[in-house]
Amino acid sequence: MKDIYPASPEWRVSRWFNSEAPLSLGALRGKVVMVSAFQMLCPGCVSESLPQALRVREAFSEGDLAVVGLHTVFEHHEAMTPTSLAAFLHEYRITIPVGVDEANPAGPIPLTMQAYAMRGTPTTLLFDRSGRLRRNVFGHIPDLRLAADIMALVGETNLSGGSATTNESAVCTPEDCSDQTT
């Protein structure tokens, strides 16, 4: 069968938390990989997508699925430094590995966010067992939908596609955060 998905670029991470060694997409080949891209001051990330990432970590086997956080800071850079992030991860009991998306010398959007064309936070990425990006969803995904998408990739033996769905409530874009869950 012809390979219809393009190879995905590696993520670019300047620092890792909750991981003894750097993680790479290449080294996770063979597992499905979920990346939860967030900002520590994005309300929808704090109330919804990060708790969901922790639930996903509990619900699926580590042998089938890797769950990785990515701190994609594209605004208030001086307020969301690695020092602040470290305190945030500690206080919110975020125990999954979290990488800091590498700063872009040319602008506010960090390199991985730019490479994967993320529109804001929260964004959830799903990579198949071959390391190819198969879902790129901006905004909240219901648990039922996310689990179904993960399982479809976990169960894949041949390579068939899918399309990304988006729910743009409680999100942050480079323009603004909207529909905060206060």
Residue 27 touches its own copies, criterion: CB under 8 A: no
Give the residue, chosen from 78, 105, 117, 163, that forms a contact with its own copies under the rule CB under 8 A.
Answer: 78
Question: Which residue has tokens 């990330």?
Answer: 45
Token pair belonging to 51 = 């708790």
Between 2 and 93, CB nearer to its own copies? 93
> According to CB under 8 A, which residues from 111 to 140 bind its own copies?
none
Per-residue binder mask for its own copies (CB under 8 A), 145-174, x = binder: xxxx-xxx--x----------------x--
Give whichever of 92 and 166 is closer to its own copies, judged by the CB atom.
92
Cα–Cα distance for residue pair 101/16, rounded to 1 Å: 9
Considering only residues 2 to 21 of the shown chain, the ones binding its own copies according to CB under 8 A are none
Min dist CB 113 to its own copies, Å, is: 17
Contact between 5 and 14 under an 8 Å Cβ cutoff? The reply is no
Please name the residue that has the structure tokens 């670029």: 9
Helices 143-154 and 50-59: crossing angle in degrees, nearest 10, is: 40
Q: Which of 156, 124, 127, 108 is nearest to 49 (CA)?
A: 124
Residues 38-77 that bind its own copies (CB under 8 A): 41-43, 46-47, 50-51, 54-56, 59-60, 76
**28 or 41: whose CB is closer to its own copies?**
41
Distances 133 to 49, 51, 109, 116 between C-alpha atoms, Å: 19, 22, 20, 9
In angstroms, the Cα distances linking 58 to 5, 26, 65, 96, 99 are 29, 23, 11, 11, 20
The DSSP symbol for 28 reads G
Q: Which residues bind its own copies (CB under 8 A)?
A: 41-43, 46-47, 50-51, 54-56, 59-60, 76, 78-80, 83-84, 86-88, 90-93, 142-148, 150-152, 155, 172, 177, 180, 182
